[in-house]
A and B are shown apart, each in its own frame.
Chain A
Amino acid sequence: NAGVTQTPKFRILKIGQSMTLQCAQDMNHNYMYWYRQDPGMGLKLIYYSVGAGITDKGEVPNGYNVSRSTTEDFPLRLELAAPSQTSVYFCAIRGGGDSPLHFGNGTRLTVT
C-alpha cells in the first residue's frame, strides 16, 4: 500500500516546454489536491478534485491544468513552463469529514 505516488521525483525544463506531473493513489479517496511549496511561503493550493470528473481551481491555478478521469489518478499539466513555476509540487489525498491530508513525496521542478 504505497498511498500516494508522485512521478518524476526531479525534472529540469526549459522555458516554454510542457510536462505532466503524475499522481496516483491506492487508497480510494475521493479528494485529491495539488500544492506547490516555495521557500518561506508554505504550501499554496493549485487545483483540487472532490471525485472523478470534478476539478476546481485553488489559490494559484494560472499556468496549470488538471484532469480527473479516474479515482486513482490526478495529473497536473504545465503547458508553457516559466521560471516562476520552479517549485516543489506535492500531491495529497484525503478521505471525507475531518480526515487529514496524506502527502506524496513531491516533485522538484526547475525551469531555466
Chain B
Amino acid sequence: AQSVTQLGSHVSVSEGALVLLRCNYSSSVPPYLFWYVQYPNQGLQLLLKYTSAATLVKGINGFEAEFKKSETSFHLTKPSAHMSDAAEYFCAVSRNTPLVFGKGTRLSVIA
C-alpha cells in the first residue's frame, strides 16, 4: 500500500522568505510523486512530478522538489515566497495505482 504524510497542516511565511513544505511517502515499489496546488474554489493543478528520472524536479511558478529515497521524502521548496503563492498544497503518490493524496498544507504568505 502507498501513503503520504504531509507535516504541518498550516505553514505561514513572510513575503520573500523561503517556502518549505514537507512530504514523506511510503511505497513498496519505486513511486511516482506529485505536488498539486489548489487555489480557493478551484480544482487542483499540477506543480511538478517525479517519475524516476532526475531527483531534483523543477515545476511551475518557481517551485522545485527533491526526491530523497533514503529519507522517503519529497519536500517542496521555493526560494522566495510571493503573495500569489497563498494556497493549499497536496503531495500525492502513485505507481500503477490511483493517486493517494496527503491531507494538504495550507500556505499563508504575510506581507
**In the complex, chain B residues whose CB is within 8 Å of the CB of A98:** 32, 49, 51
Are B104 and A40 in contact, CB atoms less than 8 angstroms apart?
yes
Are A42 and B102 in contact, CB atoms less than 8 angstroms apart?
yes
Query: B67 contacts the other chain (Cβ, under 8 Å)?
Result: no
Determine chain B's interface SS by DSSP, over half rule.
strand
Indicate whether A104 sits within 8 Å of B43 (C-beta atoms), given known contacts A45-B98, A98-B32.
yes
**In the complex, chain A residues whose CB is within 8 Å of the CB of B104:** 40, 42
Indicate whether A100 sits within 8 Å of B9 (C-beta atoms), given known contacts A42-B90, A42-B101, A43-B101.
no
Cα–Cα distance between A108 and B99 once the two chains are bound (Å)? 21
Are B98 and A48 in contact, CB atoms less than 8 angstroms apart?
yes
12 residue pairs A–B, Cβ–Cβ below 8 Å: A33-B98, A40-B9, A40-B104, A43-B90, A45-B98, A45-B99, A45-B100, A48-B98, A98-B51, A101-B34, A105-B43, A106-B43
Query: A64 contacts the other chain (Cβ, under 8 Å)?
Result: no
How many positions in chain B have a CB within 8 Å of any CB in the partner chain? 20
How many positions in chain A have a CB within 8 Å of any CB in the partner chain? 20
Are A103 and B44 in contact, CB atoms less than 8 angstroms apart?
yes
**In the complex, chain B residues whose CB is within 8 Å of the CB of A74:** none
Cα–Cα distance between A102 and B99 once the two chains are bound (Å)? 12
Nearest CB in chain B to that of A31: its residue: B98
Q: Give 1 or 0 for each of B25-55: 1 = CB within 8 Å of chain A CB.
A: 0000000101010000011111001010000
